[in-house]
Chain A
Amino acid sequence: MLSQLTVAILNGIVWGLIMALIALGLNMIFGLLHIINMAHGALYMLGAVVAWYLIEYIGSFWIALIVAPLLVGFIGLVIERGLIRTIEDKPITTIICTFGIMLVIQHLVLIVFGGSPRRISPPIAYRLPIFDLQYPSIRIVIALISIAMMIGLWLFLRKTKYGLWMRAVVQDREMAVGLGIPVNKVYMWTFVLGSALAAFSGILAAPIVSVEFMMGREVLIMAFIIVIVGGMGNLEGSVLAAIMISLIQGVGALFVPPSIATVFALAFMIIVLLLRPQGLFGE
């Protein structure tokens, strides 16, 4: 039991960190552009699929981890410049538009990649002994990479010019325009960064889950929930909420069927939405 609990907690933290990255991308786009990106799950899936092809032809997981997010980030650039920019000020319209983009991405992948799930084998095969169980060490590595990514993101937002601009636009868009910040460009790069983050998390998740064209659908909803619970626009809140929810789901699944654990988590979300629409960690 103790070893099972340890593994459940470890899995909860690893998955929570991956979810945190996905939610961060979603939340950055929301905080800045005020749009709900329904295609975010599809971009996460696209990251994993592109990585699968890269690994197939180049053979290195680590190269794929860097190249695939760049490619998906470029797709994000095309989506933002080509489609979303014209309707950025209408939140409901962007939901519908990104829903359409989600359908297109998912089904292009279905045509090219096929419908059956495929696996990306972990680049590190070593298994860590935990009590009487063997824990795949790649998961620890994935967790560490996620943490490094978050620290990098934090430094980017705090220490660079673009990060400062992004925070300024979130605080007061009008004032930012007045001060000469190229808001339009900040929007673009935020969307690109959010898309690349989604793809990056997709590749990190790939050795744990299987790669298939629908893998983003449920993740999208979980990411929404995390963003709400953590507070829309509140990035630190997203990280906390992601780890909290994944731990509750992971550990809860030891005692009740996983689907029941999810239903309770969702019912909890409804209560949070109704009583604290600004999120658990918002002011």
Chain B
Amino acid sequence: MDCKDLVELVTAYLEGDLSSEDRARADEHLARCDGCARYLDQIRETIRLTGTLEPEQIPEEQRSALLGAFRDWAGNQG
């Protein structure tokens, strides 16, 4: 396994989708390659930072339309 391969396997690696042989080869490569270890750290940091994004706000008119729909439904069903 070389660096170019590892970069393309990084998601499968993090998802736990690699076969045990490929996983072992990736771990072996990462243990002796600073560049790939850094790349993996960058991807992990990217995932962590992406997780800090705020939930999106929904427009007020959609919110009130859905609230109205809910109240109609709740009222009709008693």
A, B in one complex = no
Q: Which residues of A contact B (CB under 8 A)?
A: none
Q: Which residues of B contact A (CB under 8 A)?
A: none
